[in-house]
A and B are shown apart, each in its own frame.
Chain A
Amino acid sequence: MKTFIKFIALAILAHLLYSCTKVIDVDLNSTNPKYVIEGIITNEAKSFSVTIKQSVNFSETNNYPKISGAIVTISDNAGQNETLMEKSAGQYVTSSILGIPGRTYQLNIKIGDKTFTASSTMPTLVVLDSLSIKKPSFGIGSKKVVHYNFNEPAIKGNNYKVDLYINGKLEDLATVFNDRLANGIKISSAFFSQDIEYKLGDSVRVSLSNIDNGVFQYLFELSQLADGPNQAGTPANPTSNISGGAFGYFSAQSISTKEIVFP
């Protein structure tokens, strides 16, 4: 909300005056590389993957070293257990394990003599009812946009991540929220951005993932950082649910998807 207000005020002032940006050189320190782990397991019947990379210094190119030769296992509290295959450098995939809501999944990674562990419980599936196309009930502009609609369950404590794909391409607009302010009601929301341009015939896909508290905490802190260092207080590395000193997160999440063609 705060960023939103500031954004509006600055946008208006920018039109009135001239607010200017320029690229500058900042002398930044170098860092000790850290392992970055991303793993997602869902209720869909498919192969899941865990990727392991490393961080680099700010001044380097965005080529993140991929970590090969790690031993990656995923197990659950109902007796499933699988050691993942390294499909390509740094990418480890499952072949048999199933994601079932309510179960707790455990990730174990060994890289050399270092061990990283994480656990995540897959929340109950919340079904995405429909997508609709209408003018936003609030926000900038009067153009029609895609809204996603679902009934938020009456039980408190659900956290969501909503992703938007246009013509199969994931847009950089993931929304993370919980039911703290909107428990048990019918939700109808749009992605809030001036950057989305829906065109006639676009295939629009939205996926609603129900995530657990640890993952929500991580993704929420990550989304606060996305505002830029000066926007959301003092930035800090998001609190990961992986222990052992790695960046990233491991999420067992239930997912519901809908698709619509923009008329």
Chain B
Amino acid sequence: MRTIFSILFISLFLSGSVMGQQQKFTISGSIKDAKNGEDMIGVLVAIKELPNVAVATNEYGYFSISLPQGKYTITIQYLGYENINQEIDLNKSTKIDFKLKEKSQLVDEVVVTSKKENENVTQNQMGVTKIDMKSIEKIPVLFGERDVLKTIQLTPGIKSAGEGQAGFFVRGGGVDQNMILLDEAVVYNPSHLLGFFSVFNSDAIKDVNIYKGTAGAQYGGRLSSVLDMRMKEGNNQRYSVSGGIGLISSRIAIEGPIVKDKGSFIITGRRTYADLFLKLSSNEDLKNTQLYFYDMNLKANYRLGKNDRLFLSGYFGRDKLGFSSFGIGWGNYTGTLRWNHIFSDKLFSNTSLIVSNYNYQIKVGSGTSETKIDSDILDFNLKQDFQYYLNTNNTLKFGLNSVYHTMIPGKITSGSSAAINTPSLTNRYGLENAFYFSNEQKFGSRFTLEYGLRLSSFSQMGGKNFYTFDANGDVIDTTQTSQKNYINPEPRLSATYKINESSSFKGSYTRNAQYMHLLSNTTGANPTDIWVLSSQNIKPGISDQVSVGWYKNFKEDKYEFSVEGYYKAMQNQIDYRNGAETRGNELIEGDILAGVGRAYGLEFYLRKKTGRFTGWASYTLSRTERQVDGINDNKWYVAKQDRTHEISLVGMYELSKKWSVSATATYYTGNAITFPSGKYEIDGKTTYYYTERNGYRMPHFFRLDLGATYMIKKTEKRESSLSFSIYNATNRWNAYSISFRDKEGDATRTEAVQTTLFGIIPSVSWNFKF
């Protein structure tokens, strides 16, 4: 590995010096949406005269290209926006900001672009899916609640953790192996209402990218994926209010300039009112039930000068579930303070200070018999990222990241006559550090290589009661200090070979390490699942993934097609001994078993990007297996999330200026599951006899959702529309769970019973903007 790197370094500086002989100047600047001033991410800036030169804007809409003196035409193209062609006489370094105008519907149908964008073909990044926020607005969903997490589950390689679950599995990883970032802050629990909704209000979100374990060196900390979401900056041109009123929730967003063209803000909020319906119930118990969630997103940015910009963003959300004298509340909050600084036209810097928190509280009883359990995760995170646009062939990224974790697994306070008197669980502290470096280097016109290394480390930081366990999980030693450190070099490599303008081959190798683990012995996520840090008993998870893919665009870039194959090997995957109690258990580490996993698959994706009909089809063929000593006689078994086939179809069609319709269809093989094969009797009760682990399959799943939007009014500034949706339009009874019981009315036999969560659910919501 070391020799490869030194060769690459030499070639990097050689190529720099060869080109450096001629006098060069830099064009840098930013790209914004003309209508609302939002920074535009990932827009390709190309030079007409030099077909091999192109650079994409970064997360803050910034770009930089260095070229020899001369006359050039800068071309900027972005799907759904009008093209820009600007001539420039480059004889000094120049700063230009561009504003892109959205195409009107009419223009879209007539104009045929002469040059293709081919972003998916040319971009040196694989295993990434970018979600178009406009399609999220059109895709029909449960109760009409637009949902980022539900939409990404329709793309290849990403599987829902089950109907009514916000959690998801990426290429065979667990739900805790996804890093979910909102403006760089980790969101530990993305579920509202036990997973029926995600915590992300799509009104506040500008950009969504999910990397399926193949992210660059600037990302790390989770094995399976990075879901990187960026919040809107807010309109810096004029004030605007938008919102919606739906069947179970309403939302509102207010945005506007702080100082026009210099700074802006956005505030969004959402609250459900399902509990208000419960008040109408005649059932006393339901009447006194609390069941709601709310969330808020806030963001403000301000340009301090030509080279400095500050961003402040935050999220706050909370769920409440209460039932007579039992109550549970949970939620996340995050805060991000960012400072963009342009050191020179080639060196862009971003410094972020981030705080993330997840907390839940359970209250049982009242008065002196009350017991409260509080659990908290608190992270303080410092990130420093640099992007150095060395020359047209090399773009360097380097930086560091340092996170201090505080874990309060269970602080217990109980009244004098409470039924629980256990001491609080021991707090844990840890420091996670990473340094990274990567370079995206072009070799000629066809070949691009990005190579990088992330060096991550984890250290336990104080605390007490560190346990050592024997092979049976019993404590053999307790110490009051522990100095466990882990260091992992994580190489990242990705290569693109352009076969021609519209097709390419890509390959990549990625290693990821993970130092935080979610303790949950169910498939889905519960609000009370707790996160733990790596320790002497829990080793960091490690994954190695190799993937290859072929990308092809056709029909003037109207269609995009890709096929990717991957093989992933995973180490230190967590499972539990039989009968492990993951809640309130100081000695849980003794019940953890570590094993290995492997996952492989093929992902096909076909998308139609423009025209009156847009949409995509995705198909995933995959297999996921685990091997854990102490489970299934130490033999390999298929993991729960193993689904052989998964197909999603998404279609959106503009019928007229007033009406647009959409449909999504999902089919997948049922999850692997353990069913009983036999039965016997214990204490006079039928008890089931299990043979092989995950030896059975749930029935296959199919669902068709339909949606329609009626635009009541649309002008430059005002919009008013009605959205109709039908969830599960065929009213198919999909199996949520299958359980076994004595036959009703005939105690001499047993039967299997399937529970279905949702039948057909129609809904309507009214959306507005002014």
Please list the residues of chain A having a beta carbon within 8 angstroms of any beta carbon in chain B.
1-2, 5-6, 8-9, 12-13, 15-26, 28-31, 33-34, 36, 38, 53-58, 61-64, 137-142, 170, 172, 174, 180-189, 217, 220-222, 224-225, 228-239, 247-249
- Asked if B291 is at the interface of the complex by the 8 Å CB criterion, the answer is yes
A sample of 5 cross-chain residue pairs with beta-carbon separation below 8 angstroms, ordered by A number, consists of: A1-B528, A58-B678, A58-B688, A139-B326, A182-B422
Contacts of A233 in B (CB 8 A): 521-522, 576
Known: A63-B748, A183-B421, A230-B739. A1 touches B362 (CB 8 A): yes
Contact A237 B689 (CB under 8 A): yes
- Min CB gap A13→B, angstroms: 8
Contact of A31 among B422, B691, B736, B752 (CB under 8 A): B691
- Asked if B750 is at the interface of the complex by the 8 Å CB criterion, the answer is yes
Contact A5 B527 (CB under 8 A): yes
Extra pairs beyond A183-B421, A189-B419 (7, CB < 8 Å): A19-B757, A55-B679, A58-B688, A61-B748, A62-B679, A62-B747, A236-B693
Contact A140 B680 (CB under 8 A): no
Known: A222-B682, A234-B694. A141 touches B285 (CB 8 A): yes
Contact B761 A17 (CB under 8 A): yes
- Min CB gap A95→B, angstroms: 24
- Min CB gap B760→A, angstroms: 9
Contacts of B578 in A (CB 8 A): 221, 236, 238-239
- Min CB gap B638→A, angstroms: 12
- Min CB gap B693→A, angstroms: 6
Which residues 704-747 of B sit at the A interface, judged by CB distance below 8 A? Answer: 733, 735-740, 742, 747
- For B750, give the chain A residue with the smallest CB separation: A58
Contact B738 A24 (CB under 8 A): yes
- Comparing B364-372, B540-548, B600-608, the segment that makes contact with chain A is B364-372
Contact B522 A225 (CB under 8 A): no
- Asked if B94 is at the interface of the complex by the 8 Å CB criterion, the answer is no
CA distance A21 to B751 in the complex (A): 12
Contact B756 A229 (CB under 8 A): no
- Min CB gap A211→B, angstroms: 13
Known: A20-B756, A236-B578. A182 touches B420 (CB 8 A): yes
Contacts of A28 in B (CB 8 A): 675-677, 696
CA distance A189 to B419 in the complex (A): 8
Contacts of A21 in B (CB 8 A): 753-756
Contacts of B194 in A (CB 8 A): 5-6, 9
Contact of B422 among A24, A180, A186 (CB under 8 A): A180
- For B576, give the chain A residue with the smallest CB separation: A233
- Asked if B55 is at the interface of the complex by the 8 Å CB criterion, the answer is no
Contact B324 A229 (CB under 8 A): no
- For B693, give the chain A residue with the smallest CB separation: A234
Contact B752 A137 (CB under 8 A): no
Known: A62-B681, A229-B674. A182 touches B324 (CB 8 A): no
Contact B737 A228 (CB under 8 A): yes
Contact of B680 among A5, A53, A217 (CB under 8 A): A53
- Min CB gap B74→A, angstroms: 54
Contact A62 B689 (CB under 8 A): no
Contacts of A222 in B (CB 8 A): 682, 687
Contacts of A58 in B (CB 8 A): 676-679, 688, 740, 750
- Asked if B51 is at the interface of the complex by the 8 Å CB criterion, the answer is no
Contacts of A249 in B (CB 8 A): 682
CA distance A28 to B527 in the complex (A): 34
- For B323, give the chain A residue with the smallest CB separation: A8
Contact B693 A62 (CB under 8 A): no
Contacts of A24 in B (CB 8 A): 699, 735, 738, 752-754
CA distance A170 to B684 in the complex (A): 10
Contacts of B755 in A (CB 8 A): 19-21
Known: A24-B754, A58-B678, A137-B366. A142 touches B284 (CB 8 A): yes
- Asked if B193 is at the interface of the complex by the 8 Å CB criterion, the answer is yes
Contacts of B576 in A (CB 8 A): 233
Contact B289 A29 (CB under 8 A): no
Contacts of A25 in B (CB 8 A): 752
Known: A5-B526, A234-B693, A235-B688. A26 touches B738 (CB 8 A): yes
Closest 7 pairs between A and B when the two form their complex, measured CB to CB: A233-B521, A228-B739, A31-B678, A230-B737, A55-B680, A221-B579, A181-B422
- For B324, give the chain A residue with the smallest CB separation: A140
Contacts of A188 in B (CB 8 A): 419
- Asked if B584 is at the interface of the complex by the 8 Å CB criterion, the answer is yes
Contact of A182 among B366, B421, B680, B750 (CB under 8 A): B421
Contacts of B740 in A (CB 8 A): 58, 228-229
Contact A5 B321 (CB under 8 A): yes
Interface centre among A25, A54, A181, A189 (most CB of B within 10 A): A181
Contact A22 B753 (CB under 8 A): yes
Contact B419 A184 (CB under 8 A): no
CA distance A55 to B699 in the complex (A): 27
CA distance A202 to B228 in the complex (A): 61
- Asked if B281 is at the interface of the complex by the 8 Å CB criterion, the answer is yes
Which residues 471-526 of B sit at the A interface, judged by CB distance below 8 A? Answer: 521-523, 526
Contacts of A6 in B (CB 8 A): 194, 526
Contact of B687 among A17, A225, A239 (CB under 8 A): A225
Contact B324 A34 (CB under 8 A): no
- Min CB gap A222→B, angstroms: 7
- Min CB gap B683→A, angstroms: 7
Contacts of B286 in A (CB 8 A): 12, 15
Contacts of A22 in B (CB 8 A): 733, 753-754, 756
- Asked if B695 is at the interface of the complex by the 8 Å CB criterion, the answer is yes
Contact B677 A57 (CB under 8 A): yes
Contacts of B753 in A (CB 8 A): 21-24
Contact A229 B675 (CB under 8 A): yes
CA distance A57 to B699 in the complex (A): 21
Contacts of A185 in B (CB 8 A): 419, 421
CA distance A248 to B739 in the complex (A): 22
- For B686, give the chain A residue with the smallest CB separation: A62
- Min CB gap B282→A, angstroms: 11
Contact B689 A55 (CB under 8 A): yes
Contact B677 A29 (CB under 8 A): yes
Contact B326 A174 (CB under 8 A): no
Contact B691 A29 (CB under 8 A): yes
Contacts of B417 in A (CB 8 A): 186
CA distance A61 to B579 in the complex (A): 29
- For B575, give the chain A residue with the smallest CB separation: A234
- Min CB gap B644→A, angstroms: 17
Known: A38-B682, A181-B422. A23 touches B752 (CB 8 A): yes
Contacts of A33 in B (CB 8 A): 678
- For B289, give the chain A residue with the smallest CB separation: A12
Contact A137 B419 (CB under 8 A): yes
Contacts of A5 in B (CB 8 A): 194, 321, 328, 526-528
Interface centre among B683, B739, B750 (most CB of A within 10 A): B683
Contact A23 B681 (CB under 8 A): no
CA distance A182 to B422 in the complex (A): 6
Contacts of B770 in A (CB 8 A): none
- Asked if B159 is at the interface of the complex by the 8 Å CB criterion, the answer is no
